[in-house]
Amino acid sequence: MRTDDLIAQLSDGLEPVKSGAVARLLLGAIMLGILGSIALMLAVLGLRYDFTTAITSFGMWTKLVYAFAIAAFGFWLVERAGRPGAEMTRPLLLLALPLLAIALLSVLQMSSASQADMPGLVLGHSSRVCAPLVFLTAIPTLIATLWALKRLAPTRLTTAGAIAGLFAGGAGAFVYSFHCTEGAAPFIAIWYTLGIVVTTAAGALLGPRMLRW
Amino acid sequence: MIAQEAQYRDWMLAALMGDAGAYRMLLSGLTRHLRSYFARRLDSGAAEDAVQETLIAIHARRATYDPSLPFTAWVYGIARYKLIDEFRRAKRRPTVPLEDAGELFGHDEAQEAIARRDVTKLLDKLSPAKRALVKDIKLDGVSVAEAAQRTGLSESAVKVTVHRAIKSLGEDLKEEDLKGRGGDADR
C-alpha cells in the first residue's frame, strides 16, 4: 500500500479518544490481578490466624505501609512505562523513600534490641519462605499488569517488564502481609524486599517476550 | 524544544478529539521525518515498511499520548521502537542508541533531497573523469587504491585529482555565494 493511501485510510475513520482511556485499562486490569493475588493467598496460604487482633498491631502496619508505598510508586512507573517518551526519574527517586524509611526503622529496632533478640528480628520464623511466597502471591498481578502494559505502548521492554514486576511485587507483598505473622522491620526490610526484587527480575525477564506489540 | 512541537501537538490534540483533517496533516508531516529517519538506518524497501508500521502504531496507540508531555518525544519513542523491531526481524543486533527526539525532527526528506540535488548540480561542473573520481571516493566510499586500479592512474595522481577537484568546487561555491548576496542587494 502506498503511504499516502495509508494516511488517508487511517484519518478517514478517525474516532475520538476518550480521556482517561489509559488509566481505565490499567486500573481495570490491575484490580483483576490483585483480586487474583488475594484469592491465591486465601486459597493456598490462608489469612493469618490472629488477623482480628493483628490488624491493629504496629508490625502489620509496617508491612502494609511499606508494601503499599512501593506498589503506589510502582503503579506510577507502570503508567509512565506505557507512554513513549515519558520521564521516569521522579518516581524512581521517590521509590527511595520507602526503602530509606524501612532501613531507618530497622536500625532503630535493632539498636534497642538485646543481643539475644537480634536473630528473631532478622530471621523471624519464616525467612526461608517469605520471598518465594511474596513472589507466588504477586504472580496474578504480574500477569495482569504485563497484559495491560502490552496494550499501551511500552518502548523499552526489559525496563517496562521490570517496572511491572516492581509494582506486582509491591502489591504481592501487600496481599501476603495478611497471611504472614512477621512484623519486625529488619525482617520486612530484608525478606519482603527480596520478594519484591525477585518479582522485579521476573518481570524484566518476561518483558521482552510478553510485551512486544 | 523542537521547532515543530507546538504545531504537531496542536494537530494531535485536535485529532484526539476526532478532527480527521488535523490528523491527516499530522500524519503527512510526520511521514517526512519518519522517511528520512528510517532511510538513514535501513535499506529502502524496509525503510518505507517501517514508515508505515510506525504510522499504524501511532494510530493504534494514540491514546497513550499524554498531553502534558512533549509530543515529539512520544513519536520518537515509537519510531525508535519500530526501528528496533525492524532490526530484530532482520536478525541484526537490536541495539539503537537512545538519542532524543531531535534525531527524528532535525531532518526531513525535503531538505535531504535539496542537499542531494545541490551536490549533484555541483558535481556536474567537473569534467566526467574527475566527477567519477570524486563521486567514487567522496560519496560512495571507494578506497583510493581501488579507484587507482579502476582508472589506471597512480594512487597519488588520484589523490591529487580529487583534492584539486574539491578545491575548485569550493571556490565555485564561494563565488556563487558572493553572487547570491550581490543579487539580494540589487533587489
In a domain, A115, yes or no: yes
In chain B the first and final C-alpha atoms are separated, in Å, by 35
Residue B187 scores a pLDDT above 50: no
B151 and chain A: CB distance < 8 Å anywhere? no
User: What number is the average pLDDT over the span A82-87?
Assistant: 92
Q: Cβ atoms within 10 A of the Cβ of A211, count?
A: 25
User: Which residue matches cell numbers 518516581?
Assistant: A91
The C-alpha atoms of residue B147 and residue B159 are separated, in whole angstroms, by 10
Q: What is the pTM of this model?
A: 0.78
Q: What pLDDT does B156 receive? A: 87
Instruction: Kindly list the structural domains of chain B, giving each domain's residue range(s) and its CATH number in brackets, ordered by start.
Output: 5-105 (1.10.1740.10), 125-186 (1.10.10)
Q: Looking at the domain assignment, is residue A93 inside a domain?
A: yes
Q: What is the DSSP letter of A83?
A: S
Report yes or no on A22 lying in a domain. no
Asked if residue A114 belongs to a domain, the reply is yes
- Candidate from A103-117, B47-61, B70-84, B116-130 with smallest mean pLDDT: B116-130
**Is the CB of B24 less than 8 angstroms away from the CB of A8?**
yes
Residue A13 forms part of a structural domain: no
Name the percent of chain A lying above pLDDT 90. Answer: 85
- CB spacing of B55 vs A3 below 8 angstroms: yes
Q: Which of A11, A18, A21 sits opposite B20 (nearest CB)?
A: A11
Query: How many residues would you count in chain B?
Result: 187
**pLDDT tens track for B81-107:** 999 988 888 776 666 777 777 778 877
Q: Cβ separation of B66 and A83 shorter than 8 Å?
A: yes
- Determine, yes or no, domain membership for A102: yes
Confirm whether A164 is domain-assigned. Answer: yes
Read off the pLDDT band of A96 (50, 70, 90).
very high
Burial state string for A147-182 with b = 16 or more CB within 10 A and e = fewer than 16: bbbbbbbbbbbebbbbbbbbbbbbbbbbbbbbbbbb
Give the CA distances from residue B86 to residues A3, A207, B43, B92, B104, in Å, rounded to whole numbers and listed in that order.
Answer: 18, 18, 11, 9, 17
- Number of structural domains (chain A) is 1
Is A11's Cβ below 8 Å from some Cβ in B? yes
Q: By the CB < 8 Å criterion, does B89 face chain A?
A: no
Q: What is the nearest CA distance from B64 to chain A, expressed in angstroms?
A: 5
Q: Which domain holds residue A142?
A: 51-210
Cβ pairs A/B, distance under 8 A: 87
Q: Is A130 within a domain?
A: yes
- Read off the amino acid at residue B166: I
Contacts of A40 (CB under 8 A, 6+ apart): A136, A137, A139, A140
Q: In angstroms, rounded to a whole number, what is the distance separating the alpha carbons of residues B54 and A163?
A: 25
Q: Which sign does the torsion angle of CA B18, B23, B24, B27 carry?
A: negative
Q: Which amino acid is at B18?
A: G
Helical H segments across chain A, by residue range: 3-12, 21-40, 51-54, 58-81, 89-94, 96-111, 118-123, 127-151, 157-176, 185-187, 193-210
Least trusted range by pLDDT, from A87-91, A202-206, B14-18, B71-75: A87-91
